[in-house]
Structure 1
């Protein structure tokens, strides 16, 4: 047993353990970042290649092992070239997240988001400034974020109001909020074709309901004609909300007392799903 441990960890077991922990941390961060992007499928493919390389080397399949080795060697260069924008964004997000952890205040980010949304919606409602704001939940909204203008900015009520000022470049379309940041503005959302929607509701409401039919996002609407505030969650529409009702609905759908703890649990679940999804998909795709 001691000899096996010496062979595995070497003469400096603490350094070897630290080395393994660092590698696992890097893999963990890659999975966390990729869970909402097309890079997740790429990581699964890389994992399969590494597993195949390990088994081919263990069994002694020299030709396959050599081919996989060449694929891995040149594949790293190809991935850097093909995914250069994603890699740059990942590094930016990593630096930003580390900075947030060291400088963040004790205030719950959900509470700050609710305050900014409430302030901006009430301001625009009073002045009949049309607005459409979607907040990403579990289902990723990258498909719709890509249709707009990328902002990746902090959320403030002033910025939200300025975006929807009439005749400005970004006022037409939806603002999408992801991970407590404004991901993009002037985004296109899918229009609902439901015949149950009242005829007096316009394109903004149809877009909000359309997004609610295909995702679990929360969408906020300010009517340009009446100034009425509405909220769509899934395919349910809450219309003509006053200040108290608006605050109550925002708290119901957005407030999270344990935001950081829930995020860590979700990240752990994503790692579990990453290693099991290939096995599950093999059995599940047969019925499609």
Structure 2
């Protein structure tokens, strides 16, 4: 009888609700806030892509362990031990920037902030139309321009190198930014959620040997940002007025107006569900109306 009572008592102990005190609630709250801030920081840098790659590797490692694939398990186990050091080396600038922001941030205001700027809205037909018009007009007068259209990979670290704008995308604003001898004409413009978020941004230069010698620093920077993100970058040459597009580490040079329109139309909707959306309907009709 005593054995039965002891066994039932053990089960009841595990099923009982533990007593939660003030310190427990405070501990959970602090950990939750720290975890949220870390994830928020990761989402605004290239580390988000790295995190998804690490999760994929962990899933592969788990599947290999369950299926008793000893060779794959051995390779992944030894690779992971070196991977942490590699991550610290590769993302040293981002980690340093995060620590600097940690000291400057207003934590109280940040915790209770209702800011929703990071929510993906998807590029509207109007935004694409304004980018198209601006590039065509700047190409006619040979005004150099570098327009980065952010997609899934956040470009927060490059945005912070420029001057905040936070203006609605319009062809007039883009042309004015890149006008010769103006304070904002040098560097790149970053567009997110149908708004110009920053100008005069510094972009990483590509080391690719496939880039032609006739293309300058502006084109090399466009390829560089496309190598580290999924962004689409529009380049207007200051020497020739040619319009080019860089995406996925490749550059399509000297596009005709129709080719440029077709390339812009492949932009995918940027929203939380990552669904495709219908792009740029009736652009030709609107262009004809504007001409008339």
TM-score higher than 0.5 here? yes
Instruction: Report the structure number with the largest CA radius of gyration.
Output: 2
Query: CA RMSD for the aligned pairs?
Result: 4.2
- Which among 270, 274, 279 is matched to residue 262 of structure 1? 274
Where 1:239 maps in the other structure, the secondary structure is strand
Number of residue pairs aligned between Structure 1 and Structure 2: 207
Q: Tell me, in whole angstroms, the C-alpha distance in 2 between the residues paired with 1:86 and 1:199.
A: 48
Instruction: Give the gaps of 5 or more residues in structure 1.
Output: 1-6, 8-25, 42-80, 264-288
- Are residues 135 and 199 of structure 1, via their aligned partners in 2, closer, same or farther at CA, if it must alter by over 3 Å? same
Distance 1:86 1:183 in 2: 23
Contact 1:136 1:217 in 2 (8 A): yes
Separation in structure 1 between the aligned mates of residue 107 and residue 179 of structure 2, nearest angstrom: 32
Distance 2:165 2:262 in 1: 28
Of 206, 215, 224, the residue aligned with 1:192 is 206
Unaligned runs of 5+ in 2: 1-16, 18-32, 49-101, 276-292
User: In structure 1, how many angstroms separate the alpha carbons of the residues matched to 2:124 and 2:108?
Assistant: 28
Q: CA deviation at 1:218?
A: 0.9
Q: CA deviation at 1:145?
A: 1.2
Q: Secondary structure at the match of 1:224?
A: coil
| TM-aligned CA distance change 1:216 to 1:261, over 3 Å | closer
Q: CA deviation at 1:35?
A: 5.0
In 1, the alpha carbon distance for the partners of 2:221 and 2:177 equals 18
CA gap of 1:141–1:109, structure 2 versus 1, over 3 A, is closer
1:36 aligns with 43
Instruction: Classify 1:209/1:109 alpha carbon distance in 2 versus 1 (closer, same or farther; 3 Å).
Output: closer
SS at match of 1:198: coil
Are the equivalent residues in 2 in contact too, given 1:114–1:255 (CA < 8 A)? no
Matches within 5 A, 1:88-237: 94=114, 109-237=123-251
Deviations 1:6-35 (CA, angstroms, capped at 9, x unpaired): x9xxxxxxxxxxxxxxxxxx99x9798555
Separation of aligned partners in 2, 1:234 and 1:206: 13
When normalised by structure 1's length, the TM-score is 0.57
Higher normalized helix content (fraction of residues): 1
Once the two structures are TM-superposed, the CA of residue 152 in structure 1 deviates from its matched residue by 2.3
Query: Given the two structures, how large is their TM-score scaled by the length of structure 2?
Result: 0.56
CA contact (8 A) 2:44 2:157 kept: no
1:242 aligns with 2:256: yes
Pair 109,136 (structure 1): closer, same or farther in 2 beyond 3 Å: closer
